[in-house]
Amino acid sequence: MPVTEGLREDDPGCVLLGRALAGVDAEGLLLVHCGDLPGLRGRAVRLILDVREAVGARARTIRADDAGAIATLGPMRHAAVWPRAHLGKDFSFACLAIGARALGPDGVLWCCVRKSKGAESLADFMVALLGNVDTVGRDSGYRLLRSVRESVFDEAVAREAIELRHTIVDEALPGVILQSAPGVFSRRALDDGTRALLEHVAAWSVTTQVQPNAVIDLCAGLGPLGIWAARRFPEACVLAVESNVVAARLATDNAAGAGVGARLHVVLHDGLPATSPFAGVQLGGVDLALVNPPTHAAQDELLALLGGLRPWMAPGGSAFAVVSRPGVSTRGLEAAGASVSEHRVGGYSILHAVWPG
């Protein structure tokens, strides 16, 4: 997920929302996973999904996994939602439900959505929550939707959207049940790229008989790669790194549920940290790293993420990354000091990076 997605102030959707809310007292405004809107007076409250969104935020930020703070929000005068379509409709529904629930009497729920990205179903959902919706603006394919919290608010509809959870069971992860939620990568099923990577590394580990002591799961999401490694290598400690606050919390719970919570530590961080937060995985001592990097990351982001492996890898250590287009990732791993070979698996490239021994 590019952190700027849905958060760019010059995006026509944000401009429409900003125009509608320009001049309102931001003290009574909840920004539900959209960026800081231009032209506001005062300080809004803004929910953030990724730790990188807190950097430079003008609003007072609340993390999406802070259910206590979210439940006690309000009463707000306005709540604004800019759906991040790539995270799925259930996340947009949860955002609308959080916004509607936080409103006081006559408070207004705003949603700016591309017509082609499900404007109709989001409008229907606003009706289900608040009993009314109007289209009050249009620009560059966007619809600006507006509902008012009059006498109707369906708490049951809101709760169902906010508390929705998924479970993932996959034969590539025998005996593991992953808990998942709206707002995270591949929330309903194991990603095909993740499965391809797991199968490839499983076969490699049988052939080579490796027994790594220290493993990194970079861009861990719900934790499937790190959990697999902790189960496959019973002596290994795993450091899982993830910037999405909901995913990081789920990864921690999933590791505990899979019986490897003591050996798998999740760190909520933008890329690999400069120092180790976990005694079992130290800089310069990592034998194995597994990476399913963010698909839409900008080149420099991807290079920085993979470059971060350099100080962590042990001499002779291996990293495996699954990608659709190998160019930038290969360069990133080479720049991190490794020799890289590519293996085609289905529609994916599995990059195997080896650091000199």
Residues lying near ligand SAM in the complex (CB under 6 A) are found at: 1, 185-186, 191, 194, 219-221, 224-225, 241-244, 247, 270-271, 292, 294-295, 305
Give, in order, the Cα–Cα distances in Å from 140 to each of 14, 280, 284, 319: 12, 52, 50, 43
Give strand ranges (E) for the chain: 29-32, 45-48, 60-63, 76-81, 103-114, 134-139, 142-148, 166-168, 178-180, 214-218, 237-242, 264-268, 286-291, 313-323, 339-345, 348-354
Minimum Å distance from CB 98 to ligand SAM? 20
Take residue 303 and report the two structure tokens written for it.
């290079």
Minimum Å distance from CB 228 to ligand SAM? 10
Distance CA 273, CA 294 (A): 17
Cβ-based nearer residue to ligand SAM, 63 or 78 = 63
Minimum Å distance from CB 272 to ligand SAM? 8
* DSSP per-residue letters across 214-231: EEEEES-TTSHHHHHHHH
- Strand (E) or helix (H) holding 188: none
Cβ-based nearer residue to ligand SAM, 65 or 270 = 270
Q: Which residue is nearest to ligand SAM (CB)?
A: 221
Cβ-based nearer residue to ligand SAM, 36 or 191 = 191
Minimum Å distance from CB 1 to ligand SAM? 5
Cβ-based nearer residue to ligand SAM, 53 or 242 = 242
Cβ-based nearer residue to ligand SAM, 224 or 307 = 224
Minimum Å distance from CB 15 to ligand SAM? 26
Cβ-based nearer residue to ligand SAM, 54 or 157 = 54
What would you report as the CA-atom Rg of the chain, rounded to the nearest whole angstrom? 22
> What angle (nearest 5°) sits at the alpha carbon of residue 242, between those of residues 237 and 244?
150
Tell me phi and psi for residue 266, to 5 degrees.
Answer: -100, 130
Minimum Å distance from CB 53 to ligand SAM? 11
Cβ-based nearer residue to ligand SAM, 36 or 270 = 270
Minimum Å distance from CB 276 to ligand SAM? 16
Contact by Cβ (8 Å): 78, 93: no
Burial of 295 (0-12, 13-18, 19+ CB in 10 A): middle
Cβ-based nearer residue to ligand SAM, 156 or 171 = 171
Contact by Cβ (8 Å): 266, 296: no
The single residue listed with the structure tokens 């940290």 is 273
Take residue 247 and report the two structure tokens written for it.
């995913």
Minimum Å distance from CB 172 to ligand SAM? 11
- For residue 276, the SS3 value is coil
Minimum Å distance from CB 278 to ligand SAM? 16
DSSP label of 50: B
Cβ-based nearer residue to ligand SAM, 11 or 191 = 191
